[in-house]
Structure 1
Amino acid sequence: MAGKGLRSLSEAMRGLSLASPTCRTLPTRSFPLTCRRAMASEAPVANITRSVTDSWEPTTSVPLTIYSFPSLEPRSLESWSARHLHLPLRRDILHLAVVYEGDKTRQGTASSKTRWDVAGSHKKMMRQKGSGRARRGTRQSPLLRGGGKSFGPHPRDFSTKLNRKVYDLAWRTALSYRYRRGELIVTEDGLDLPLPEDFLRLAEAGSLGQELEDSFVKKYMTQMLSALQWDRKFGRTTFITGDRRPNLFTGAEVAAEDARALELEDVDVKNLLETGRLVIERSALKDMIKKHQSDLVSKVVINGLRHRGPDLGKSVLR
């Protein structure tokens, strides 16, 4: 009886070990001694997974350094809203803006004459039948040389429509794209090409000819851009100013293969994306963003006030 009881107990334990997952053991693995020591001394891995209850705080502002030109010495540090200079890349919106600007700049002046605009008699040239030749109506027929054109172009307006808020968003998206890539250089106000005083004195006196002046300015501009790695080897540079600066614009004209200079009123979204980098003075950047933030300005008046958009740059360090 005792043997039978021991046998039944061992069978019950064997069945429990096979049926219950809590009693199963993993097979032993043979690790080298060095691996076992490393595993024993290894610190527990920290849990870097964020909980669903933690609140996500997006970036609300980005830093912007103001440089001096052409030394590129940092002068001040400003804080700009992320909705101005840190928007995500939207290729669809940029495409809409570029197409809109291209359609708007098309002249649409092509014009051709129809058969009713061509001068000459409208008498039938030959009889209808019996000549053995094709039928001829008037000399203005599109089938004859010198006649009118059947479906030729006529003056028209090629411009298309685009919502103002979408267009303004495209401007800030292009600036944000340049900012994130480090291709947006903001300088102090008064951006101009610092030509030598001796050269300016001789040029004002008229001692130098036009050809000699242009060659000196081109060489000076080319050497400066090459030293800054802003020339055509690294992508052309676009200078944007509030108004026309004689020295800078003249240098960009004679060294057009390396740089170009534009006034703020002549800039569009396509210009912000074409060259390797943008060099813009602070006042021009401020005016540009202030003009193109209609989607950030609210028209709803609450307690006599309405939201006029984020601040245009706050000074952090001077």
Structure 2
Amino acid sequence: MPGSEAFRALRLLSRTSGGLLSGSEAVTGYSLLTPYSQQRRCLTRSMATEAQANALSTPDLSKTSPFAPWDAPVQVMTYNFPSMEPTRLVEYSQKQLQMPIRKDILHRAVIYEGDMTRQGTASTKWRGDVHGSHRKLMAQKGSGRARVGHKQSPIRVGGGVAHGPHPRDFSTGLPAKLYDQAWRIALSYRFARGELIVIDNNIAIPSKSTPFLMERILKEHGWNTKKGRSTLITADFDEELFDTMDKLKRFATLRDSSEVDVKNLLETERLIIEKRGAGPVLPVALAGFEE
């Protein structure tokens, strides 16, 4: 038809660089036959690109803060025991309290600690370990009874144990850097949930006090069984305090800072750490805060 041939000719001219429609249409990137929606996209494409480039530009925060955003210290409030009154703010590194939570690393660390605590002393006597002669108890034929071998056989009373346990080492390996990362992840998990309490002074009670006093302190601050057990970490070994807390295991457990592992940081509802004893557990970022 004449109409279809005319449209075909216009389309052919619009595609050629030297055609009749190679003026403003070629510059803008569309022809007279291009739909209006595509024409608007062609006209606004350059402006949108410039807007995105401006949006991606970020201000230089290093000029307004002495620390880079990834190096800014984390402020932690310390408290006075047993009144739990706020005393001062202490700054710690983000690498200690703001690590991303990695459950796989925590799992590997807990399994590693569990394997290290296994004794592996279970031992049984195999058939080669049982004392006695290895001669055949009776003839193979002629007795009318079942065939038997020597008395060390596992099917006889007093014989050896088939495939029984022998002393072995259950410990597994874990890179030191990965285990250190698990420590910091566990502390970051507690800090993010508001379950990390730093004590500015010592966790102590008056001498010759009864366990009722410590129980009253735990209940007063909500550290009892209704809100979960607590883990108290001290710097020094106080035998009297440890004996008192040993009678209050249903409320909390007391540990020395040198005996704390990743599992201890995760097994209770909150951590109560002495700042003076937080060196092995929570190193201070700035040396000026060290006592």
- Give TM-score, length-normalised by structure 2: 0.74
CA contact (8 A) 1:69 1:187 kept: yes
Matched, 1:220 2:213: yes
Partner of 2:236: 243
* Partner residue of 2:222 out of 203, 226, 229: 229
Structure 2 gaps of 5+ residues are: 1-31, 39-50, 62-68
The count of aligned residue pairs is 239
Deviations 1:231-274 (A, max 9, x none): 11111111111221234312211111101100112111000001
Matched, 1:122 2:134: yes
* Partner residue of 2:272 out of 276, 279, 285: 279
RMSD: 2.8
Q: Distance in 1 between matches of 2:146 and 2:236?
A: 65
CA contact (8 A) 1:111 1:152 kept: yes
Q: After TM superposition, list the pairs within 5 Å mapping 1:85-164 onto structure 2.
A: 85-164=97-176
Letter in 2 for 1:311: A
CA contact (8 A) 1:189 1:282 kept: yes
Q: Distance in 1 between matches of 2:36 and 2:196?
A: 67
Distance of aligned partners of 1:141 and 1:120 in 2 relative to their CA distance in 1, 3 Å threshold: same
CA contact (8 A) 1:187 1:281 kept: yes
Partner of 2:57: 53
Structure 1 gaps of 5+ residues are: 1-15, 23-46, 204-215, 291-309
Distance of aligned partners of 1:160 and 1:21 in 2 relative to their CA distance in 1, 3 Å threshold: closer
Distance of aligned partners of 1:140 and 1:76 in 2 relative to their CA distance in 1, 3 Å threshold: same
* Partner residue of 1:171 out of 183, 192, 195: 183
Deviations 1:74-100 (A, max 9, x none): 122111111111111110110000000
Distance of aligned partners of 1:133 and 1:164 in 2 relative to their CA distance in 1, 3 Å threshold: same
Q: Distance in 2 between matches of 1:107 and 1:162?
A: 18
- Give TM-score, length-normalised by structure 1: 0.68
Matched, 1:260 2:253: yes
Q: Distance in 2 between matches of 1:312 and 1:130?
A: 89
1:51 shift after superposition: 2.3
